[in-house]
């Protein structure tokens, strides 16, 4: 199936599953499942990634294995925002970024 | 003549041949036909369009009339009543402004290209067509809408909500109201707070369209807008010059990155008509925006001439589309508004609801 970059990075459905994290079905038909700890360890905010060097400062191994997503919201049309149970709330995860970090076997 | 055999379904079948050119579907399956009455050989119905600013309204009326007259035996007269109801795009997220159906951002790469003039004229033209319209002047650096719209008084607070002022049938809110005569010397977080308040803390009531006049460029105000509310789409205003266009492209890419659909590009100051000899002079070049729109695959909404009437009426507080609707620039603004309203309707049909389902 021919798909456009637009379809690859636009969700058709977003689900927040208890204990599992976030599941996004994209418009091109692909499905990504993101665990809470996986997402927390890839937070793109300025506290977790150095603004000047782009180096990751906080990654998955620094995160408590029990971390969960307390709340999830959409940001305008283009991103998701999460409140994690460890108190971290500053990341804005664009759909483009989320698709890029899809942890499934085909993508990773 | 066969009488009494005209049925609602035979009329609907005949109307299925009438297509909405923008949505690419027939007006029956789009559910546009309402209140059908058949009395003897006379058939009457409403065609409920997606915007009162529809530029093909008259054509659709005539096509509907002809389709029933020629397609249904026994019909001697057809009365078509054109109505409109602006559709709300499927709910995007939870942070939408209550009662506001569409939010349209008007942006430009650099200052001085006439962005506020375009925003004011579009808002007034939408209101004139019968749509409930609001205009938010979010230009923190040079709020000019209160002058262009000659609004008097300042908004009052009621029940902890700002009550917008009204001018030329448009509900107005401006960053200028927050500062009076003083310049706004704000750092990012203050701009962020002020924009959020003027979006979400205003009693807009029921609006079909809220036009947001952005500051030039890409900055705090833009980010706050696209992060706080689902923006239906953006209009980019540019001069025909390459430099103006190149900078506008940055604005274009910002909207693209934040998944705000581009409703189209407007070329302002397109050519100058000499009031003495009537000759055209392309002071800033011509046609650059059409070429850019083609290259980017986005709609070109139209061009506005460099016309002293625009400046005069903007300074006088009555946008040219209202003050001199039959002038070349008045007609240009009306045509651009019609095309824009079409694009918004298309967008509303195309967008998919974006909500987070919780298990």
pTM for the model stands at 0.81
Contact, B357 vs B271, CB < 8 A?
no
Chain A contact set for B229 (CB, 8 A): 76
**In chain A, what residues touch B227 (CB-CB under 8 Å)?**
75-76, 79, 92
Q: Which range (A79-88, B91-100, B239-248) has the least confidence?
A: B91-100
Half-sphere exposure of B307 (CA within 13 A, CB side): 21
Task: Check pLDDT > 80 for residue B278.
Answer: no
Q: Evaluate whether the domain defined by A5-100 bears CATH number 3.30.2020.30.
A: yes
Q: What is the dihedral of CA B324, B326, B329, B330, to 10 degrees?
A: 60
Reported confidence tier of residue B160, pLDDT bands at 50, 70, 90:
confident
Residues of A within 8 A of B226 (CB-CB) are 76-78
Q: So what's the pLDDT on residue B319?
A: 94
Q: Which of B1-10, B106-115, B288-297, B331-340 has the lowest mean pLDDT?
A: B1-10
**Do the Cβ atoms of B94 and A11 come within 8 Å?**
no
Which residues does chain A have within 8 Å of residue B352's beta carbon, measured at their own beta carbons?
A: 10, 12, 27
Torsion sign (Cα): B155, B215, B297, B240: positive
Give how far B191 is from chain A: nearest CA, Å: 18
Using the beta-carbon criterion (under 8 Å), do A76 and B231 form an inter-chain contact?
yes
Average pLDDT over residues B140-168: 87
Residue A9 contacts residue A24 (beta carbons within 8 Å):
no
Rounded-to-10 torsion of CA B257, B258, B260, B266: -50
Average pLDDT, chain B: 87
* Predicted pLDDT of residue B4: 54
pLDDT at B267 over 60: yes
Least confident residue range of B43-52, B186-195, B199-208, B347-356: B347-356
Q: For the segment B290-300, what is each residue's pLDDT rounded down to a tens digit? A: 888 888 888 99
- List the CATH code of the domain at B8-84: 3.30.300.130
Predicted confidence (pLDDT) per residue in A27-67, tens digit: 999 999 999 999 999 999 999 999 889 999 999 999 999 99
Q: Which of A17, A76, A80 sits opposite B230 (nearest CB)?
A: A76
What integer pLDDT is reported at residue B111 of this predicted model?
83
Complex ipTM: 0.82
Residue ranges of A 35-54 with Cβ closer than 8 A to chain B = none
pLDDT of B208 over the 80 cut: yes
- Cα-based torsion angle of the residue sequence B45, B50, B54, B56 in order, rounded to the nearest 10 degrees: -60
In the structure encoding, which two tokens stand for residue B255, read together? 């909207």
| pLDDT at B165 (0 to 100) | 93
Q: Which of B90, B259, B347 to mutate to test the interface with A (most CBs of A within 10 A)?
A: B259
Min distance A107 CA to chain B CA atoms (Å):
22
Helices (H), chain B: 8-15, 57-71, 115-128, 145-148, 188-200, 220-228, 242-257, 288-296, 308-316, 320-323, 328-350
- List, for residues A9-18, the tens digit of each pLDDT value: 989 999 999 8
Domain ranges of chain A: 5-100
Confidence of residue B92 (pLDDT cuts 50, 70, 90): very low
B137 pLDDT higher than 60: yes
What confidence tier does B64 reach under pLDDT thresholds 50, 70, 90? very high
Predicted local distance difference test score (pLDDT) of residue B89: 67
In this complex, the residue of A10, A13, A80 whose CB is nearest that of residue B357 is: A13
Q: Tell me how far apart the alpha carbons of residues B53 and B144 are, in angstroms, rounded to a whole number.
A: 25
Do B174 and B143 contact (CB within 8 A), yes or no?
yes
Q: What is the mean pLDDT of residues B210-236?
A: 90
- Is the pLDDT confidence value at B135 over 70? yes
CATH topology of domain B100-350: Rossmann fold (3.40.50)
Q: Where are the domains of chain B?
A: 8-84, 100-350
> Measured over all CA atoms, what is the biggest interatomic distance in chain B, rounded to whole angstroms?
77
Q: What is the mean pLDDT of residues B197-218?
A: 92
Would you say residue B307 has pLDDT above 90?
no
Mean of the per-residue pLDDT values for chain A? 91
Q: B325 or B283, which is more confident? A: B325
Q: Report whether B135 contacts B264 (CB < 8 A).
A: no
Give the pLDDT score at B352.
66
Measured CA to CA, the distance from residue B341 to residue B334 in angstroms comes to: 11
Question: How confident is the model over B327-344, as pLDDT tens digits?
Answer: 989 999 999 999 999 999
Residue listed under structure tokens 């695959």: B297
B57 pLDDT more than 70: yes
- pLDDT number for residue B176: 80
**Does residue B1 register a pLDDT over 50?**
no
pLDDT tens by residue, A85-108: 999 999 999 999 999 999 999 998
């Amino acid at each position: 199936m021919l798909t456009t970059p637009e379809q690859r990075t636009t969700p058709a459905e977003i689900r927040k599953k208890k204990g599992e994290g976030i599941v996004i079905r994209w418009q091109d038909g692909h499905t990504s499942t993101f665990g809470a700890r996986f997402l927390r360890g890839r937070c793109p905010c300025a506290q977790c990634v150095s603004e000047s060097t782009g180096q990751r400062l906080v990654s998955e191994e620094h995160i408590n294995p029990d971390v969960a997503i307390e709340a999830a919201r959409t940001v305008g049309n283009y991103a998701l925002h999460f409140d994690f149970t460890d108190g971290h709330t500053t990341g804005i995860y664009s759909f483009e970024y989320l698709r890029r970090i899809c942890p499934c076997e085909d993508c990773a | 003549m066969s009488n009494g055999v005209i049925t609602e379904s035979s009329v609907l079948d005949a109307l299925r041949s009438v297509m909405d050119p923008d949505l690419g579907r027939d007006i029956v399956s789009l559910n546009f036909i309402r209140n059908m009455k058949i009395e003897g050989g006379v058939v009457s119905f409403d065609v409920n369009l997606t915007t009162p600013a529809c530029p093909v309204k008259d054509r659709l009326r005539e096509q509907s009339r002809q389709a029933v007259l020629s397609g249904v035996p026994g019909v001697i007269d057809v009365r078509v009543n054109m109505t409109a109801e602006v559709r709300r795009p499927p709910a995007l997220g939870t942070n939408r402004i209550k009662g506001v159906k569409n939010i349209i951002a008007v942006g430009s790469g650099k200052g001085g290209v006439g962005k506020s003039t375009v925003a004011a004229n579009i808002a007034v033209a939408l209101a004139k067509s019968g749509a409930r319209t609001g205009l938010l002047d979010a230009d923190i650096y040079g709020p000019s809408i209160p002058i262009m719209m000659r609004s008097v008084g300042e908004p009052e607070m009621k029940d902890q909500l700002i009550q917008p002022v009204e001018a030329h049938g448009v509900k107005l809110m401006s960053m200028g109201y927050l500062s009076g005569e003083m310049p706004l010397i704000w750092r990012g977080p203050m701009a962020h707070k002020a924009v959020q308040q003027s979006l979400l803390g205003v009693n807009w009531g029921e609006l079909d369209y809220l036009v947001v006049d952005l500051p030039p460029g890409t900055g705090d105000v833009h980010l706050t807008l696209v992060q706080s509310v689902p923006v239906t789409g953006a209009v980019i205003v540019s001069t025909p010059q390459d430099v103006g266009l190149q900078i506008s492209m940055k604005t274009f890419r910002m909207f693209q990155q934040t998944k705000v659909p581009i409703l189209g590009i407007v070329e302002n100051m397109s050519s100058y008509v000499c009031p003495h000899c009537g000759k055209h002079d392309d002071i800033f070049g011509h046609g650059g925006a059409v070429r850019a729109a083609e290259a980017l695959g986005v709609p070109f909404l139209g061009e506005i001439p460099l016309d002293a009437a625009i400046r005069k009426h903007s300074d006088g507080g009555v946008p040219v589309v209202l003050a001199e609707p039959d002038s070349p620039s008045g007609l240009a603004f009306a045509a651009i508004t019609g095309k824009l309203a079409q694009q918004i309707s298309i967008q509303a049909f195309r967008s998919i609801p974006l909500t987070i389902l919780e298990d």
